[in-house]
Every structure is written in C-alpha cells, then in structure tokens.
Structure 1
Amino acid sequence: MRILISGASVAGPVLAYWLTRHGFSVTVVERAPALRKTGGHAVDLFLPAVHISEKMGVLPRVEERATGANRMVVHREGARRPVRVDLSRIFGVTSDRHVEIMRDDLSEIYHDAARDDVEYVFGDSITAISPDGEVRFENAAPRRFDLVVGADGLHSNVRRLVFGEESRFGAFIGAYLGVLTLPDVSGLDGEILIHVGAGRTAGMYGSRRLDGARALFLFRSEHELDYHHRDVPRQKEVLRDAFKGMHADVDRWLDGLDRTPAFYFDSITQLRMDTWTRGRVTLVGDAGYSPGPAVGGSTSLAVVGAYVLAGELARAGGDHERAFPAYERAMAEHVRGSHAAALSAAKTLIPASRLGALGLAQGARLISALPAGPRRALLRLATKSARLYNSMTVDDYPPPPTASAGRIRLMGDLGNGLEVE
C-alpha cells in the first residue's frame, strides 16, 4: 500500500517511521529543498511524545540535544528588580517526563530514524489530488497513491486543496509570535531572560548546544493584523511597533532583525475542523488541529497524532474507511484538551494588564521556591497543560513481527529511478 505524506517537519517523519514499521510503502514530499534549518525555536516534548520517541529508539539523541534551560530571570516592565526562577524545580513537577529541544534538531532526528526506508523528495509540492488517488506535483510527473496525508503545518497546502481555504478553519486567539536568531551576546547557557509587560512578553535564551541565541516575542492584538504570511519585511515592522520602548534589552534584540539569519512570525491561530479526513486524504498535526504555536504543546500533539494514525491504519489492515474514523475518535479528546490548554497558556504567558504581569513574575518565583509536594499540587491545579499531558494516553500499536517496509533509495526526481530492495 502506497502512502504519500506532505511535509517533513515533525508529524511527517514520525508518521513515515511508524507506517514503514507497519509494512506500508511511504513517500514524503517537502516543498523546501532540504530539511529546514531556519533557526527555529525551542519546543516541548511531554510525557506521551517522550514515550513514543523512546519506542522509536531516538530518545538518547533527543536528550543529547536538549536545550538544557534550567534558570529564568524575569524583568517586569517598570520594576527595578528582576525575579529569578529555578526552572528545573518547575519542569520536574509539571510533567513526569519532559524534554525541551530546538524544533530543527527534532525534525532532523525523526527524519534520520527512517530515512533509509522512506522515499524523501525535497524541492517539490502537491498541486492537485484526485478522488481516485492521482496526485500532481509542481515538478514531477503525476503518480497514484492509495492514501495522502497532509502533515504540512498550519498553512497546509493539502488542507487547502482538499478542504478549502484556511480562513474557513482558523480561529485567531488574539496573539502573535515572533522568533529570531541572534549572536549569543549575553553568554547565555541554560538561562532564559524574560521581559514581561501588559500585553507583551519578550525573551532570549541560549545554550552551548545552539548556534547563537533565540529571541522570542509574544504580543496581544484585539484583531488580526494586515500582512501576508510570506511578507517578511512587513512582519518585522509589526514586531518593532509592538515592542517599541519596552526595555533596552528588547531594543537591542530588535536591532538584530535586519541581520538575523533566521526569522519566524505568525499569528497564534487554532485549527478547528469538524473532520480531518475526506476520502483518501487525512490531516495530522498542525495541518488538522493546531492548538496554536508556542502555547498549546502542538509538537507533542503532532507526535501523538502521527503515532495514532499509523497505528489505526495498521489495525485496520490499510482500510482507510475504518482507520480514519478510528484515528479521529482516538485524537478528539486530546485535541479538545490541547485547544483549551492553549487558550489558558496564552492568557498566562501574555498578561493583559500590569497586575497580570506582576502575578506572572511573582507566581513563578513562588512556585520555584516551594517544597516539591506543594509545588506539584499548585502547578497541577493552575496549569491545564500539566493535567492534560500527564493524563494523555494512547493505545499500543505493535508492528507485526513480519512487517518489512523494504529499502527504498531515491535515484532521481519523484517517481523516476527508484530502486527497491
């Protein structure tokens, strides 16, 4: 059975790994010319995603590349003294198992896990998908697949082609996110610097494992701003306006906008769809149910979704008419919980008032100072994310003992010169 996956970030490679282990033949097509190395930002792997990574045999590599962030200094706008927070004491109780890692590093690790068994095609994109499984591409000749999976992120091309424009499903939750790569001028290693004020939060973190530091910006907006998601100059202008005059540190970070080798900017938008499947096509990860970047654990949700989708296809013997509804049923509660947790996290991370900023700073200090027992109780009462991910469970989908995906090597353009052993 031949399955095409669009997208080679996180959900795509994880899905490809598990599908090949269940005996399916997999092709992954990615618009970028190679694995993306755009700087990226730190993402969290919570309990279920850590378990899945362990089952894939990649957890040692994931832990080796963890950011190692364990300290945070919070500067509240207008306050004289910063608040110092021991993050290790917080992470230790918010999740039974937790790893923070740069998104690009995680993508590379998942890609490497099955690259010898999967046909990866870079520098191409899907232009049309017919009901009978014929797929057309920008560059390569058409090919026929039994199933097509969109794992191509919040601005999914597959979703647009099959389900309609993003505006039909996107729910703006009133905030924006920006990330840029800067030289690690502060000598940061495992420390996060945060500036928080009413309606805006900026931070910088670094590590000896990173090629420079990352500056992260979150800000509120009552309405969606006028820009195109590929209009980088306009995005930088929006970011400068939102953080103008916050602090000298933040001004210096913004000065790097014109020199940064990597920049990311997007609205914090949730994908809310009644169904993620139509005919032979389904969606996984942010393409189908993004809870919102930076606030909702979308990376862990993508890993879980990919694992469940592959498992349900295997359980149904490749019958998508049984597997796709089972996949949606298995993920529905997780997605609802992640969406709710994201809304709560956005309110906490980007306080609406000066009083809220004070509460965030002092609350973080209090929690890190408490003994383990009260600290655990308070955090689990206060954070929906902790309750969600600690309680999230998925079925076990062991590959059949005889499953063998075969060995596929790409010899040329998509569909030409494939060698199968």
Structure 2
Amino acid sequence: MRGPLEGCCILVSGASIAGPALAYWLHRSGARVTVVEKAPELRPGGQLVDLRGVGRSVVARMGLDERVRAAAEANYGLSFVDGRNRPRGTLRAEDFGGDGPIAEIEILRGELSRVIHEATAADVDYLFGDHIAALEDRSDGVDVTFASGDVRTFDLVVGADGAHSETRRLAMGEDAAHLAHLDTYLAFWTAQNHLGIEDWTYIYSEPGRTMGMRAILDNSRVMAFLSFRGGPPAYDHRDVATQKRIVHARAAGMGWECAQLLAQVDTAPDFWFDSCAQVRLDSWSRGRVALVGDAAYCSSPLTGHGATIALVGAYVLAGELAAGPDDHRAAFERYEERLRRWLVDVHGLAAGQGQMMTPESGSGIALRNNLVRLARYVPGKSLLMRSQMRISNGFELPDYSVSTVPAG
C-alpha cells in the first residue's frame, strides 16, 4: 500500500522525542525520512518527562503504550519536607487521575527516546554525530550542508532540535529573539539513593530555591533536581562547566540533604541545566522548513507538558502533510491553526507551577505546604487541579488514519 507522501524525502533534525515521533508518522504516510542527530548516539537517562492526557493517546495510536509503560518509572507520590525530612504536605499519584502534579506515566527522557527510536530504526535513516551547518531553501527543495561536509537536497526539512534550535536559527534568525525567560532555572542529575526512597519524591524548599530527589531505576538511584529564581541568563547554554558552577553557587548553604546531592553534580553523566523559557514564534515554518516540539513552541519544564506537546505536535504535523501532500505551505498553516490555541493554554500553566515549585518567601513555602496538606481532606479535591487536567485533555486529536499505511 502506497502512502500519500510516497517519494517525498524529508530531513528531521533532532533524535530526542519529537524527531523520532515525527519520523514514525511520516514513514507511515510513505515518506523517506532521514533523522540527523548531533550527539554520537542516543542520549540515555536525562530528566523525567510526563505523558499527560492526549500525549498518552498519541502513544496508544503508535502502538507503543505497553512498551512505554514498561519503561516508565513508578512514582506513587511526593512529599514537601522540612530540614529533618518530616513531611509538611503530601500528594499521591491517584489523587488527580494521572494528570495532576504526578503524571500517570513518568519516564526518563532517554528511555522514551529509545522506545520510539526502536520502533522506527528499521524504516528511518538515522545519522548520528552530524548536524545541519547550512540551509538553502529553494522553490523546489532545500539544499542542506551537513557539518561532515556532505551536501544533500530534501523536499522538506523539520527542526526538532530543542529550545535552542539551530534549525530555527538558520531558517528564521537569531535564537534570542524567540525565547521568553520565566525567571526560573532548573538542573537535573542522577545521584545515589542514600535515603533508600522507594517510588516517591521528596522536595525541600528555602526562599527562592528548591531541591528534591525522586527515586528512579528500581529505586537504585534518584533524580536530583534544583530550581532557583533568577534573571535572564548571562552564560553560554553549551558551557556545562559554567552551569555546574552556577548550580553549586546558587545551592550553597542549603539545608536538608542538599550537600550530599550537590557533591555528585560534577561526576553525574547526565547533568542538565537550563533557564526555564518559552519559545514564542509568529510562525512555525518558513518556506520548506518547519519546526516541531520545543524548537517551535517550548512551554518550559514548568508546565509538565513538554513531552506531551512534542508527541501531539509531531502527530499533527505529519498528519497535515499527509492530508495535503501537494501543498506543504497549506499543510504547515493547518498544523499551526489546529495547535496554536491549545498551546497558548499549555504555556499559561508555567507561572503557577513556578510559584508552586519555588516560592520566594518563607511564608510562601508555608502556604504551599499547608494547601497541599489540606488538599487530601477537601471533598472533590480534583477540582483543585481542574484547569491543568482540562488543558492536558483539551485537544481533540484529528483522525489521520486514511493517510497512513498499517504499522509493521
């Protein structure tokens, strides 16, 4: 069976989540897909990502639900604790139907990437250890020069290379013009589970900064994390050594278990640090080049919807291209029209989540902990998270099955 994109040659930049997911659906519609990834191989581990609402529906339509759930990390709840590890407020996973502060599916970013890569590896050409160095967008194709020196022509190019997208910069201009800083920074790294936490998360806050740990890998390790308040970044987002120095400086002197967690920052193989920022663009495409996931509409980790919107965006972009294979401009426009209103709502979640995670005062910390503690005793407590739950499930997935060939 021939798909509507038969003969169309598409390059996708980025092999994290949005890129392989897009490649999956494009292949199902008959396209010949190449994914280029700057890293020499799939990047393992990484921070935990949540799959919420319609994101889980996309995974089910891909036939990957069982594999994703098998790779997910169990998490039954979280506790905000004081310096002596005494709980001051607790939330449980079942409290909000899988779309509250604790998602039904929480999975290491690298594991989700691995599952989708494995589902596409036999059908998609993956180029690791290379990246796009230059683009020439012509009326009949895009000439791509790779860092390796190879030059190839594709019908379309899609950037799925994150909030600091090089594809976006090459196609649409300098990065800084598209990033809105949210006055919060986040760091993640894997550390020893020295407290023996089992399927749980502990979070400790001081004014303007928060540290926590979440049991992972069958409770053999924890994902440690730090958040703190701060103005616009004044460092190179690629300078990991400077980022680690910033983490040490901003967390210096914190109580609780922070000193032991910080001592493992310098040796952590999966350290990640970035400002919480949102990508805001007037258009997600230019000519024959389009963007998907964080490259187009990063909502920041504060919303808890990054992986969800990556999967949904990939599904819709591929579906609209397949629905109108002879007019990529119209397909790009439909892609934006379908998603933009929902993504505005997703972006709006960030402010409240930032205050919840990192209150700026002692009274703010006490208020948060008390609200969480009392939530368990409020009848119909799911109403407390009604807005987030509505947004997580607030996009109706189109049916593109007529444009896709059966999997496998």
Shorter-chain TM-score bucket reads: over 0.9
Q: Counterpart of 2:95 in structure 1: which amino acid?
A: I
**TM-score calculated relative to the size of structure 1:** 0.89
Aligned to 2:4: none
Structure 2 residue 90 is matched with structure 1 residue 85: yes
Taking the TM superposition and a 5 Å limit, the aligned residue runs for 1:236-275 are: 236-275=244-283
Aligned to 1:376: 382
1:152 and 1:158 in contact (8 A); partners too: yes
Aligned to 1:154: 163
Change (3 A) 1:109 1:48: same
| Alpha-carbon shift at residue 256 of structure 1 (Å) | 1.0
Q: How big is each residue's C-alpha offset from its partner over 1:75-96, in whole Å with a ceiling of 9 and x where there is no partner? A: 246x884225242233426469
Aligned to 2:345: 337
How many residue pairs are counted as aligned between the two chains?
A: 397
| Alpha-carbon shift at residue 348 of structure 1 (Å) | 1.8
Give unmatched runs, 5+ long, in structure 2: 1-7
Q: Counterpart of 1:205 in structure 2: which amino acid?
A: R
Aligned to 1:280: 288
In terms of mean alpha carbon deviation, does 345-354 or 39-48 score higher? 345-354
Output the CA distance in 2 between the equivalents of 1:137 and 1:148. Answer: 13
1:47 and 1:98 in contact (8 A); partners too: no
RMSD (CA atoms): 2.1
Output the CA distance in 2 between the equivalents of 1:327 and 1:162. Answer: 18
Structure 2 residue 392 is matched with structure 1 residue 389: yes
Taking the TM superposition and a 5 Å limit, the aligned residue runs for 1:50-89 are: 50-76=56-82, 81-89=86-94
Secondary structure at 1:258 match in 2:
coil
Q: Counterpart of 1:297 in structure 2: which amino acid?
A: H
Aligned to 1:102: 108
| Alpha-carbon shift at residue 404 of structure 1 (Å) | 7.9
In terms of mean alpha carbon deviation, does 207-216 or 16-25 score higher? 207-216
Change (3 A) 1:128 1:399: farther
2:10 and 2:33 in contact (8 A); partners too: yes
Aligned to 1:141: 150
Q: How big is each residue's C-alpha offset from its partner over 1:38-67, in whole Å with a ceiling of 9 and x where there is no partner? A: x31111100101011011111101111221
Match of 1:27 among 26, 34, 55: 34
Give unmatched runs, 5+ long, in structure 1: 408-421
1:173 and 1:268 in contact (8 A); partners too: yes
Output the CA distance in 1 between the equivalents of 2:11 and 2:208. Answer: 42
2:13 and 2:37 in contact (8 A); partners too: yes
Change (3 A) 1:67 1:370: farther
Identity of aligned residues (%): 38
**TM-score calculated relative to the size of structure 2:** 0.92
Change (3 A) 1:89 1:398: same
Q: How big is each residue's C-alpha offset from its partner over 1:323-371, in whole Å with a ceiling of 9 and x where there is no partner? A: 0000010111122111111222112211122222112212222223445
Taking the TM superposition and a 5 Å limit, the aligned residue runs for 1:184-203 are: 184-203=193-212
1:49 and 1:300 in contact (8 A); partners too: yes
Output the CA distance in 1 between the equivalents of 2:362 and 2:374. Answer: 18
Aligned to 1:116: 122
Aligned to 2:365: 357
2:210 and 2:357 in contact (8 A); partners too: yes
Output the CA distance in 2 between the equivalents of 1:93 and 1:33. Answer: 35
| Alpha-carbon shift at residue 69 of structure 1 (Å) | 0.8
